[in-house]
């Protein structure tokens, strides 16, 4: 008969150990007990779940079918209350016995809640509004409650507290972080590093931080209304999250007579002291006096235990982990390993602090070996330092190279130089060797390797390195993830292939594309908008415009707002207006009680908060064309005053800007297209950071920059050409835009498109006509321009029934605050 | 059961909102001709679901692009579920409710 293996605790360590056992062909009849009513999920990801960047489905590591597929009996939602070491049996609360031959305890930790007055209600558990942050259920409850409240206090300024504070910001407006020590993350960081982190957290994230704060009381009768500190200060809040530390779940083990100190005491095989058949792994285990609170050590423990239990490596032994961590804490990069500061007289210290920029780093060296390092705000050097720390690598003579690039070796470790067992993914404990083995086994896409090994699926900071290793391991033959190259998620083709198929089958409507090109003809809501844009670009007048393929903004030619109303931005070419135009806008705003009138960053005027049903009337009263502030299309041309008025102007930027906007207004594309023309290199119209930016230079010339950005990404545009006339600017602009329209991926702005294709290639095609397609590009653009029709003309005869009918007849939405 | 008017009030592939006994209901006319009805208010942050884009399976809210299964009301992106209502056609009249 197979040996019976029972695992108590179905968390990250328990499930991982079982995976490692299965991977070694371990032949056990496995039964697992988990207190939580789920399969195994990635606890680390609870931070992302709280922050709203991951959904629940995305955090599961082993769903219920995994257990079934591997013949494991899982009792989810079942707690083990007692272990009988003599009868070799575990018991659930209702007394159900389960006998074992080998037992693994992997019960993890629980949140430690300090004995603060009012934190618990007798007989009712935590006070209403108080939460801990450990499980999926905790996180769900916290999100539900936080959404309906306004101010949160987080107690504890360690990793967990910072993540909680950051995540809560997603659900309510005000978060205060209380930390009992004098600086944040004091277990990992020294004072200067902790203070630097505090600055970033306060200034960049807007979380209020109070250090040296001992909470003495939770206030509020029926629900939390605030907390009191030992100095008498009261902080009002309606949510309290306690993240003050963790305690190993070792009570059941202790009650059952096992040796427990801080955790369950184990030897180098993870065997519980004095026991033959009982093991412990993960946060509940104490090894050589150490209890760990991060996942990396428990991956190592799981391997050793699996080697030992299956006999795969009879000599397997765990020697403890050197904890080196590279984390994104509340969005800030932090890496720390070993000592925070020198401890001996002759320890070397190298320290660099730039608090204003939120950067701190240090390294501690003893006898020529790295024994500690801390990086906050910039962790580019972390990969090398962690290797040097782990493996005791020799250090460069020029010590400063440990922290800076002195034109010496590149900051990025090259995959070739990395040791096979160097850990790449610190969240999921994946080594370079594992990644290479996966590639060798035939998986040659970055996404595929990530799925198989889970590398890069934790905090994500190692993804670029994973990518490089896969690239290296495949000898540069990385296969692209097919879906990553598709133009839209619902049609399995990259853009060139898709365009060819559309042409071949003469597909002129979005539904025709689904019917013809998708296996089974399945439509996909999330692909419709991209397809509509592409078909319109390809077919112009012949395009069959199915209105349901459009996003709401494009159905009603206005941008939807958070409360379901819309914004109206009339065209104001080049940012130039007239008294008459201003008067008309003012009258319309007054007549229709427009809640806010605002100058936009695009040099025009926005009427915000307009109900859908009022749009046609407002457009009629304005009698101005649409400014297209809602579409993936040509938007604006910002200009400066230029040579007509400015004493420095060397070109008539205003006139050229107006000419450009007049010609290219409303042209759709894969992304927004924002332009600027500026009258001299002082660049008052910010032309260097636009999709296309035109700069007048001395000698009656114009420089044309493309691929600039100053939004979510900041990038100076690349110089496409320097020309001597406004007419050439107008022509090259159109040709570049058409090339982008035909070759850009859906939602790929020019700041990504230009570097992807390469400015040299773009210049060769657009300026030098190397592919002899310039005439075609020009002709296609001319046709698109000829098809332009101001969409606000639809005001007189709506295109669909109820086009402008309100979608929310009764007002229940959060109302946008109205400013006078 | 409540008649809501003609199905031709809803363009194919789109949704329209109706006030029914103080509730707001979004009715969608799928491209296969069938109807679905959900609460008109997005469970995420109150967005107007009738303004969302749909296919035969899901509606995508226009505000933050969360998605819901039109038949079961289950969220496809980790949100709370949305209420769904029975709805059918009688000739070209939309009938809401059992
Ligand atoms: C109204 C305006 C802010 C303002 O009050 O000034 C604005 C408002 C919005 N911007 Fe913007 N952007 C506005 C100028 C800008 C600028 C500055 C500019 O145009 O010179 C930028 C940086 C340049 C750029 O485009 O990169 C800008 C970069 C963004 C981005 C980041 C794009 C990127 O890839 O980096 C987004 C998000 C997106 O596109 O996905 C965005 C998205 C938005 C949206 C449409 C968000 C949305 O989807 O609802 C906002 C609509 C608010 C509303 O309720 O109507 N907005 N936005 C500006 C309108 C300009 C205009 O007249 O057309
Ligand atoms: C929000 C959050 C963010 C984190 N972020 C990071 C990070 O960025 N990096 C990092 O390295 N680490 C992070 N951690 C820590 C990491 O999640 C833990 O180190 C890891 O989960 C420990 O694994 P474990 O199996 O020992 O314990 P757990 O994952 O807690 O699993 C123990 C399981 O045993 C169950 N159990 C307990 N007692 C019993 C019983 N008597 N009977 C049956 N079942 C029982 C519990 O319900 C639980 O499901 C984070 C933790 C949290 C909570
Ligand atoms: S920066 Fe742009 S997208 Fe962000 S809130 Fe302001 S207007 Fe909206
Ligand atoms: S309001 Fe619907 S997705 Fe946010």
B92 lies within 8 A of chain A by CB? no
Domain range for residue B88?
A: 2-96
Instruction: Measure the CA–CA gap between A797 and B27, rounded to whole angstroms.
Output: 23
In the sheet with A3-8, reading across from the earlier edge strand, the strands are A73-76, A28-34, A3-8, A102-105, A278-280
Least confident window among A296-300, A459-463, A487-491, A566-570:
A459-463
CA distance A138 to chain B (A): 16
CA angle A692, A697, A699 (to 5 degrees): 135
- Residue A610 alpha carbon to ligand 4 centre in Å: 19
> Is residue A309 pLDDT above 80, yes or no?
yes
Residue closest by Cα to atom 24 of ligand 1: A711
pLDDT at A123: 77
B40 lies within 8 A of chain A by CB? yes
Q: Both A741 and A764 in a single domain?
A: yes
Instruction: Decide if B46 and A812 are in contact by the 8 Å CB cutoff.
Output: yes
Q: Both A733 and A770 in a single domain?
A: yes
Q: Which of residues 30-49 of A touch B (CB under 8 A)?
A: 49
- Residue A236 alpha carbon to ligand 3 centre in Å: 29
What's the sign of the alpha-carbon dihedral A497, A503, A504, A508? Answer: positive
> Is residue A376 pLDDT above 80, yes or no?
yes
B33 lies within 8 A of chain A by CB? no
The DSSP code for A440 is H
The single residue listed with the structure tokens 């219920």 is: A64
A296: confidence class by pLDDT, cuts 50, 70, 90: confident
The reply to whether A331 falls in a domain is no
Residue at a domain's end among A485, A515, A538: A485
Ligand 4 pocket residue status of B44, Cβ below 6 Å: yes
What is the average pLDDT across A739-747?
95
What is the average pLDDT across A628-648?
94
Q: Both A758 and A667 in a single domain?
A: yes
Instruction: Measure the CA–CA gap between A236 and B14, rounded to whole angstroms.
Output: 46
Q: Which residues of B touch A548 (CB under 8 A)?
A: 11-14, 31, 53-54
Tell me, what CATH number does A11's domain have?
3.50.50.60
- Residue A305 alpha carbon to ligand 4 centre in Å: 46
* Residue A774, H or E segment: helix A774-786
The reply to whether A325 falls in a domain is no
Exposure string over A328-363, b if 16+ CB within 10 A, otherwise e? bbbebbbbbbbbbebeeeeeeeebeeeeeebbbbbb
> Is residue A407 pLDDT above 60, yes or no?
no
Evaluate whether A383 touches A415 at the Cβ level (below 8 Å): no
Ligand 4 pocket residue status of B49, Cβ below 6 Å: no
B50 → chain A, closest CA residue = A807
Ligand 1 pocket residue status of A157, Cβ below 6 Å: no
A563 → chain B, closest CA residue = B47
Q: Which residues of B touch A55 (CB under 8 A)?
A: 77-79
**The dihedral formed by the CA atoms of A59, A63, A66 and A68, expressed in degrees to the nearest 10:** 170
Q: Which residues of B touch A800 (CB under 8 A)?
A: 11, 14
Instruction: Decide if A522 and B55 are in contact by the 8 Å CB cutoff.
Output: yes
Tell me, what CATH number does B69's domain have?
2.102.10.10
pLDDT at A410: 42
pLDDT at A417: 77
> Is residue A170 pLDDT above 60, yes or no?
yes
Q: Both A92 and A125 in a single domain?
A: no
Evaluate whether B73 touches B67 at the Cβ level (below 8 Å): no
Nearest to A560 among B22, B40, B51 (CB): B51
What is the average pLDDT across A134-156?
96
- Residue B63 alpha carbon to ligand 4 centre in Å: 5
Distances A79 to A10, A23, A64, A123, A264 between C-alpha atoms, Å:
10, 27, 17, 21, 18
**The dihedral formed by the CA atoms of B10, B15, B17 and B20, expressed in degrees to the nearest 10:** 80
The ligand whose atoms approach the alpha carbon of A569 most closely is 1
The DSSP code for A393 is P
The reply to whether A326 falls in a domain is no
Question: Which atom of ligand 4 lies nearest, measured to the CA of B65?
Answer: 3
The reply to whether A682 falls in a domain is yes
> Is residue A357 pLDDT above 60, yes or no?
yes
B21 → chain A, closest CA residue = A810
- Residue B79 alpha carbon to ligand 4 centre in Å: 9
Instruction: Measure the CA–CA gap between A748 and A221, rounded to whole angstroms.
Output: 53
Q: Both A540 and A500 in a single domain?
A: yes
How many other CB atoms are found less than 10 A from the CB of residue A664? 24
Instruction: Decide if A801 and B11 are in contact by the 8 Å CB cutoff.
Output: yes
Q: Per the structure, how many domains does chain A have?
A: 7
The reply to whether A453 falls in a domain is yes
Tokens standing for residue A98: 């389960």
> Is residue A813 pLDDT above 50, yes or no?
no
pLDDT at A815: 41
Tell me, what CATH number does A667's domain have?
3.30.413.10
B47 lies within 8 A of chain A by CB? yes
pLDDT at A211: 96
Ligand 1 pocket residue status of A457, Cβ below 6 Å: no
Q: Which of A100, A108, A426, A429 to mutate to test the pocket of ligand 2 (most atoms within 8 A of CB)?
A: A108
Task: Note the pLDDT tens digit of each residue in B83-97.
Answer: 999 999 999 999 998
Q: Both A272 and A237 in a single domain?
A: no
Task: Note the pLDDT tens digit of each residue in A683-734.
Answer: 999 999 999 999 999 989 999 999 999 987 789 999 999 999 999 999 999 9
Ligand 1 pocket residue status of A606, Cβ below 6 Å: yes
> Is residue A443 pLDDT above 90, yes or no?
no
A778 lies within 8 A of chain B by CB? no
pLDDT at A406: 58
Task: Note the pLDDT tens digit of each residue in A493-549.
Answer: 999 999 999 999 999 999 999 999 998 999 999 999 999 999 999 999 899 999 999
Task: Count how many Cα atoms sit within 13 Å of the Cα of residue B52 in the half-sphere of its side chain.
Answer: 34
Least confident window among A232-246, A354-368, A440-454:
A440-454
A266 class by beta-carbon count within 10 Å (0-12 exposed, 13-18 middle, 19+ buried): buried
- Quick check: helix, strand or coil at residue A70? coil
What is the average pLDDT across A369-380?
90
Q: Both A160 and A301 in a single domain?
A: no
A547 lies within 8 A of chain B by CB? yes
Least confident window among A382-386, A541-545, A567-571:
A382-386
**pTM (predicted TM-score):** 0.55
Task: Count how many Cα atoms sit within 13 Å of the Cα of residue A316 in the half-sphere of its side chain.
Answer: 18
Number of residue pairs across A and B with CB atoms under 8 Å?
Answer: 106
Residue at a domain's end among A195, A211, A244: A244
Q: Which of residues 517-536 of A touch B (CB under 8 A)?
A: 522-526, 528-529
The reply to whether A588 falls in a domain is yes
Ligand 1 pocket residue status of A561, Cβ below 6 Å: yes
Strands A102-105 and A634-639 turn out to be unpaired
Best mutation target, A46, A550, A552, to test chain B (most B CBs within 10 A): A552
- Residue A507 alpha carbon to ligand 3 centre in Å: 37
* Residue A759, H or E segment: helix A759-766
Instruction: Measure the CA–CA gap between A637 and A693, rounded to whole angstroms.
Output: 9
Q: Per the structure, how many domains does chain B have?
A: 1
Instruction: Decide if A548 and B67 are in contact by the 8 Å CB cutoff.
Output: no
Strands A605-610 and A634-639 turn out to be unpaired
**The dihedral formed by the CA atoms of A199, A205, A206 and A207, expressed in degrees to the nearest 10:** -80
Instruction: Measure the CA–CA gap between A182 and A186, rounded to whole angstroms.
Output: 8
- Residue A465 alpha carbon to ligand 4 centre in Å: 34
CA distance B98 to chain A (A): 23
Task: Note the pLDDT tens digit of each residue in A760-801.
Answer: 999 999 999 999 999 999 999 999 999 899 999 988 888 999
**The dihedral formed by the CA atoms of A678, A680, A683 and A686, expressed in degrees to the nearest 10:** 20
Q: Both A254 and A105 in a single domain?
A: yes
Instruction: Decide if A808 and B17 are in contact by the 8 Å CB cutoff.
Output: yes
Nearest to A810 among B24, B53, B79 (CB): B24
Exposure string over A44-58, b if 16+ CB within 10 A, otherwise e? bbbbbbbbeebbbee
Q: Both A238 and A253 in a single domain?
A: no
Task: Note the pLDDT tens digit of each residue in A582-619.
Answer: 999 999 999 999 999 999 999 999 999 999 999 999 99
Residues of chain A above pLDDT 70, percent: 97
Instruction: Decide if B47 and A564 are in contact by the 8 Å CB cutoff.
Output: yes
Evaluate whether A91 touches A82 at the Cβ level (below 8 Å): yes
Question: Which atom of ligand 4 lies nearest, measured to the CA of B61?
Answer: 2
B74 lies within 8 A of chain A by CB? no
Mean pLDDT of chain A: 91
Instruction: Measure the CA–CA gap between A499 and A676, rounded to whole angstroms.
Output: 31
Q: Which residues of B touch A547 (CB under 8 A)?
A: 11, 13-14
pLDDT at A204: 86
B7 lies within 8 A of chain A by CB? no
Ligand 4 pocket residue status of B66, Cβ below 6 Å: yes
pLDDT at A92: 95
> Is residue A659 pLDDT above 70, yes or no?
yes
What's the sign of the alpha-carbon dihedral A432, A437, A438, A442? Answer: positive
Domain range for residue A185?
A: 120-244
The reply to whether A600 falls in a domain is yes
pLDDT at A712: 72
The reply to whether A319 falls in a domain is no
């Amino acid at each position: 008969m197979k040996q019976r293996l029972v695992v108590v605790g179905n968390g990250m360590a328990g499930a991982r150990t079982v995976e490692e056992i299965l991977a070694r062909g371990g032949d056990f009849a496995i039964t697992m007990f988990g207190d939580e009513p789920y399969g195994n999920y990635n606890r680390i990801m609870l931070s992302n779940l709280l922050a709203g960047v991951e959904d629940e489905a995305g955090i599961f590591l082993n769903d219920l079918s995994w257990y079934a597929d591997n013949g494991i009996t899982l009792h989810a939602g079942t707690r083990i209350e007692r272990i009988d070491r003599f009868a070799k049996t575990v018991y659930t609360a209702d007394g159900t016995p389960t006998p074992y031959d080998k037992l693994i305890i992997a019960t993890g930790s629980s949140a430690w809640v300090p004995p603060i007055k009012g934190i618990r209600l007798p007989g009712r558990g935590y006070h209403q509004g108080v939460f801990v942050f450990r499980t999926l259920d905790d996180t769900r409850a916290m999100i539900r409650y936080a959404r309906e409240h306004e101010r949160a206090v987080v107690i504890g300024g360690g990793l967990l507290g910072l993540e909680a504070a950051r995540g809560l910001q997603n659900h309510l407006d005000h978060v205060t972080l209380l930390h009992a020590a004098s600086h944040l993350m004091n277990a990992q960081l020294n004072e200067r590093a902790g203070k630097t982190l505090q600055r970033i957290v306060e200034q960049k994230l807007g979380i209020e931080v109070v250090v040296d704060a001992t909470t003495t009381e939770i206030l509020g009768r029926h629900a939390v209304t605030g907390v009191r500190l030992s100095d008498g200060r009261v902080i009002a809040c309606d949510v309290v999250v306690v993240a003050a530390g963790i305690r190993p779940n070792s009570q059941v083990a202790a009650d059952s007579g096992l040796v427990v100190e801080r955790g369950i005491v184990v030897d180098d095989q993870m065997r519980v002291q004095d026991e033959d058949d009982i093991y412990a792994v993960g946060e509940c285990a104490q090894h050589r006096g150490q209890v760990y609170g991060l996942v990396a050590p428990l991956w190592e423990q799981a391997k050793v235990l699996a080697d030992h239990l299956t006999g795969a490596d009879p000599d397997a032994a765990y020697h403890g982990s050197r904890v080196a961590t590279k984390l994104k804490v509340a969005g800030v990069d932090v890496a720390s390993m070993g000592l925070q500061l020198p401890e001996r007289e002759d320890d070397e210290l190298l320290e660099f602090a730039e608090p204003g920029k939120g950067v701190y780093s240090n390294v501690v060296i003893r006898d020529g070996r790295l024994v500690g390092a801390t990086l906050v705000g910039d962790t580019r050097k972390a990969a090398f330092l962690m290797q040097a720390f782990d493996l005791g690598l020799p250090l460069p003579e020029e010590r400063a190279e440990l922290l800076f690039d002195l034109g010496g070796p590149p900051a990025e470790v090259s995959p070739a130089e990395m040791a096979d067992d160097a850990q790449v993914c610190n969240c999921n404990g994946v080594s370079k060797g594992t990644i290479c083995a996966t590639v060798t086994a035939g998986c040659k896409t970055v996404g595929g390797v990530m799925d198989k090994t889970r590398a890069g699926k934790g905090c994500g900071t190692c993804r670029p390195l994973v990518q490089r290793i896969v690239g290296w391991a495949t000898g540069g033959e990385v296969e692209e993830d097919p879906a990553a190259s598709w133009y839209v998620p619902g049609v399995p083709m990259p853009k060139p292939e898709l365009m060819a198929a559309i042409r071949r089958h003469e597909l002129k409507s979005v539904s025709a594309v689904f019917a013809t090109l998708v296996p089974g003809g399945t439509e996909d809501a999330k692909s419709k908008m991209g397809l509509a844009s592409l078909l319109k670009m390809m077919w112009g007048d012949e395009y069959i415009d199915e209105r349901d393929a459009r996003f709401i903004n494009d159905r009603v030619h206005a941008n939807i707002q958070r409360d379901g109303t819309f914004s109206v931005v009339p065209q104001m070419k080049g940012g130039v207006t007239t008294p008459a135009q201003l008067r008309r806008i003012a009258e319309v705003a007054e007549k229709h009680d427009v809640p806010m009138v605002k100058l936009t960053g695009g040099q025009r005027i926005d009427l915000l908060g307009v109900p859908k049903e009022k749009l046609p009337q407002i457009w009629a009263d304005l009698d101005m064309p649409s400014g297209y502030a809602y579409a993936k299309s040509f938007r604006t041309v910002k200009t400066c005053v230029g040579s007509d008025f400015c004493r420095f102007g060397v070109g008539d930027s205003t006139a050229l800007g107006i000419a450009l906007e007049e010609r290219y207004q409303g042209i759709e594309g894969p992304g927004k297209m924002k332009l600027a023309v500026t009258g001299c290199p002082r660049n008052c119209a910010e032309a260097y950071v636009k999709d296309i930016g035109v700069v007048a230079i001395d000698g009656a010339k114009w420089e044309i920059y493309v691929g600039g950005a100053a939004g979510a990404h900041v990038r100076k545009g690349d110089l496409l050409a320097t020309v001597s006339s406004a007419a050439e600017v107008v022509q090259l602009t159109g040709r570049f835009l058409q090339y982008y329209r035909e070759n850009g991926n859906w939602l790929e702005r020019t700041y990504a498109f230009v570097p992807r294709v390469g400015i040299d290639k773009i210049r060769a095609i657009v300026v030098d006509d190397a592919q002899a397609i310039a005439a075609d590009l020009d002709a296609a653009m001319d046709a698109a321009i000829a098809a332009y029709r101001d969409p606000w003309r639809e005001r007189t005869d709506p295109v669909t029934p109820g086009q402008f009918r309100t979608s929310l007849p009764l007002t229940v939405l959060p109302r946008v605050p109205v400013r006078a | 059961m409540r008649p809501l008017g003609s199905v031709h009030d809803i363009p194919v592939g789109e949704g329209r909102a109706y006030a029914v006994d103080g509730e707001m209901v979004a009715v969608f006319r799928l491209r296969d001709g069938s109807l679905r009805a959900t609460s008109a208010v997005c469970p995420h942050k109150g967005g107007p679901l009738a303004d969302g884009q749909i296919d035969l399976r899901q509606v995508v809210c226009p505000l933050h692009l969360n998605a819901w299964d039109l038949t079961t009301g289950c969220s496809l992106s980790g949100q709370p579920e949305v209420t769904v209502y029975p709805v059918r056609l009688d000739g070209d009249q939309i009938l809401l409710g059992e």
